[in-house]
């Protein structure tokens, strides 16, 4: 059995204004520039990504794109500059 909540008519107290901390809508709808490419992948790789994407309810091409983005970010020229 759930414990019932008892409400009262007591004063809440002084209000505190909190500064806006949420990002603007345009920051939430960030779209990175994309280009179309033709790429031949092995059947095994595509089958793997399709199965994993189906489990997670996301497009398999998006998973492949994010994997490539993560690889490029980790091993790209910007990282080489930081390591030097």
26-83 confidence digits (pLDDT tens): 777 767 788 999 999 999 999 999 999 999 999 999 999 999 988 988 888 766 555 5
**Is residue 43 included in any domain, yes or no?**
no
**Is residue 8 included in any domain, yes or no?**
no
Cα distances (Å, whole numbers) of residue 30 to 1, 25, 44, 77 = 47, 9, 32, 23
Q: Which residue has the higher pLDDT, 23 or 35?
A: 35
The whole domain housing 81 covers: 60-84
**Is residue 71 included in any domain, yes or no?**
yes
**Is residue 21 included in any domain, yes or no?**
no
Residue with tokens 């199965």: 51
Cα distances (Å, whole numbers) of residue 26 to 9, 31, 52, 57 = 41, 10, 30, 25
Q: How many domains is the chain partitioned into structurally?
A: 1
**pTM flag (> 0.75):** no
């Amino acid at each position: 059995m759930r414990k019932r909540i008892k409400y009262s008519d007591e004063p809440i107290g002084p209000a505190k204004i909190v500064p806006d901390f949420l990002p603007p809508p345009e920051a939430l709808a960030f779209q990175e520039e994309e280009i179309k490419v033709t790429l031949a992948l092995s059947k095994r790789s595509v089958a793997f990504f399709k199965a994993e994407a189906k489990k997670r309810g996301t497009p398999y091409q998006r998973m492949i794109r994010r994997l490539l983005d993560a690889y490029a970010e980790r091993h790209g020229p910007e990282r080489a500059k930081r390591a030097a």
